Chain A
Amino acid sequence: MNTEARDPIFRGLDELAGLADDDHVTDRLAGISRKARTNRIRTRVAGAAAAAVVVAGAVGALQLAGDDTNNEPAPAPSVGTESPSPTASADPSALTIDVTVSQLGRTTLGVVYRIHGTSHEWVYAPGETSDISGPKYTRVLLDGEEVGGSDGGDIQCEAGTPELAFDETWQGEDQRGVLVTVPGPGTYTIKITAPSCGADGKLVPNEVSRTVTVTEPDLVVADQTSADIDGDGRADQVTLLTPVDQSQGGYAVAEVTRASGETTEVQITGTGAPKVGGTADLNDDGVPEVEIVSEGENRSWWTVLTYTGGDVVAARPILSGGEWIIKPETGATAEEYAGSTYRDFQVTFLRGSQLMTGFVGHAWDQQSDAEVTLHVWGLEGAELSLGGPKETLCVTPDPATWTDPAPC
């Protein structure tokens, strides 16, 4: 560290850095291992995405076209740069946009886009070049309405800045692309814009459009159960449906047909075949919730169906102020904790009226039972929270004898 103790900046920074010492993470390795594994999966997915020029018609009959409405999938990530605006640069340097759209669910599209080419460097103000590389302002628009992208801040073009080469792919947090929700089956226009700067200091408005037709996918029943989910004293039917073809990303639709005759569809993201994990009254209101689990090749998912506000919804984890929160015991974020788990690193199970989860990653190098700290999820309305009590149980790391955690 800085040996110039007289440096006031060092002293201030060092004192400030000391605040990090109060935030102990007892088992950082579990989180690291999980991230490393995620990186491997992402690398594989990214490679597949690069190879797959356009994904279409995988679940249901997603159809893509350039700017027309033909029903054939686009043969290549064709580039669509529209006519420049009257103030646009005449400079030939421009960014090329390749876009891949996948239907990830009944009403969810995943938009992955790659921006490559050259642009002259952006500036924040005259004479003040930006200190980052890459496209500064990209937008994803669904029928003209902005639904995603990145804000590059107050950027400008200036003549005479150096020309830079860019090649970046935007795949979203989980590599499935920028998630775009559409109202239902129909035809939509996805537009990606990514301006660049010309040598003359004027903006080059690069953009590409895709027409997407979303149709109803073929679904099959994966699992079903009966439970009085709305508490009217009569059994309601919960049916889990999955697309026949899950090759482009799995999801499930929970179709809840209540005894009253009303039907609600809840889309659940996940991979593999979903099944009913069990029913339990998680919020102690006398009405059971339905836990749904889904195990894919590498990951497992779970969610809870609950009746609130007069309808059946999938409960969501509470995130602190909209931010991800770090769990001191595991290093995991709440969102990962609740929404996507590795079956080899996490156990999720119902015990009585309690939904419990806990990481078991630290158990892999143990030959005997390992202690696991299990959290009990609380449910209020449609929100799951980890504010409940914790309990230490034991698991056996041997896959041949794996059972739910039990008292040590």
Chain B
Amino acid sequence: MNAQTLRGVTVVHQDSFEDYVRASGPRLKRLAFLLTGDLNEAEDLLQSAYAKAMPHWSRISGYDVPDAYMRRVMVSIRTSWWRRSRGRETLVPEIPERGAGPASLTDAVVDSQVLLAALRALPDRQRAAVVLRHWCDLSEAETALTMGCSVGTVKSTTSKGLARLRAGLAVNVPLKGEASS
């Protein structure tokens, strides 16, 4: 740690936090993008989460998995933003049907634009649940901790999210987690 005074303002600077930001930035940016569906908003979300962590870094750095803290903060901030700006968001209630009927899942998922549109169409909490369970590979308990809700809510929210995502992708195949929820 070092401190530097710049134009009369003392800035405390922790190298380990810098290291963590540089190391974790790319992977957490990916998560932020999946949570928001927008690159600009993702960067804003990521920086906001880091800004929350920075004052408490001495404590957070002692955690086994600081990323878990960051995930929780990002989901919380994202939910807060969504709550405040819901009326200004452009929600996409339905994804336009794909003319050829149910396509193969591989075709669908490789079409990032289709997936992005379907992901954006999910309610915020459903999107978070799907991303945390299926991309971060968190358990239901870990997802519940991250989202600040019960395991039961995680199950139902993930299930609803998957169902909507599947509808958005216009495919009809079993997805991971569906059987258990």
Contacts and interface: CB of A to CB of B under 8 A. Distances in A.
Interface of A: 1-4, 7-21, 23, 25, 28-29, 31-36, 38-40, 131-134, 149-153, 170, 323-326, 331, 333, 343-344, 360, 363-365, 397, 399, 402
A2 B134 contact: yes
29 contacts: A1-B136, A2-B137, A7-B134, A9-B134, A9-B162, A9-B165, A11-B109, A12-B109, A17-B135, A20-B33, A23-B39, A23-B43, A25-B29, A28-B46, A29-B18, A35-B51, A36-B55, A39-B51, A39-B52, A39-B55, A132-B82, A132-B125, A324-B40, A326-B43, A344-B6, A344-B8, A344-B9, A344-B11, A360-B6
Given A20-B30, A364-B11, A8 B123 contact: no
B108 to A, nearest CB: 7
> B31, B39, B87, B123: which has the most chain A beta carbons within 10 Å?
B87
Given A19-B33, A28-B47, A36-B55, A326 B40 contact: yes
B34 interface: yes
B180 interface: no
> B7, B9, B31: which has the most chain A beta carbons within 10 Å?
B7
Given A2-B136, A324-B40, A13 B115 contact: yes
Contacts of A2: 134-137
Nearest to A2: B137
Contacts of A134: 83
B34 A17 contact: yes
Q: Which 8 pairs across A and B sit closest by C-beta, in order of nearness?
A: A151-B87, A12-B109, A35-B51, A17-B30, A20-B33, A2-B137, A36-B51, A131-B125
> B47, B112, B134, B165: which has the most chain A beta carbons within 10 Å?
B47
B87 A152 contact: yes
Given A9-B176, A132-B86, A153-B87, 15 more contacts: A2-B135, A7-B175, A8-B109, A12-B115, A13-B119, A13-B131, A16-B112, A19-B39, A21-B30, A33-B54, A133-B83, A150-B86, A153-B91, A344-B8, A363-B6
A17 B119 CA distance: 12
Nearest to A20: B33
B7 A402 contact: yes
B54 A8 contact: no
B43 A331 contact: yes
Contacts of A363: 6
Interface residues of B, number: 66
> B11, B82, B91, B165: which has the most chain A beta carbons within 10 Å?
B11
B79 interface: yes
A28 B50 contact: yes
Contacts of B18: 29
Contacts of B88: 151
Given A18-B30, A33-B11, A331 B109 contact: no
Contacts of A323: 40
B116 A16 contact: yes
B175 to A, nearest CB: 6
Contacts, number: 174
B124 interface: yes
A25 B32 CA distance: 14
B42 interface: yes
Contact of B123 (A3, A131, A149): A131
A325 B7 contact: no
A222 B97 CA distance: 62
Nearest to B36: A20
A360 B175 CA distance: 49
A360 B8 CA distance: 14
A134 B82 CA distance: 12
A28 B125 CA distance: 27
B134 A13 contact: yes
A9 B130 contact: yes
Contacts of B123: 131
Interface string B73-95: 00000010011111110010000
A193 B159 CA distance: 35
B65 to A, nearest CB: 13
Nearest to B157: A131
A111 B112 CA distance: 42
Contact of B6 (A40, A150, A399): A399
B100 interface: no
Given A19-B39, A20-B32, A21-B30, A4 B7 contact: no
B179 interface: no
A145 to B, nearest CB: 16
A80 B130 CA distance: 42
A290 B41 CA distance: 33
B135 A343 contact: no
A35 B56 CA distance: 14
A4 B88 CA distance: 37
Contacts of B66: none
B131 to A, nearest CB: 7
B13 A364 contact: yes
B7 A7 contact: no
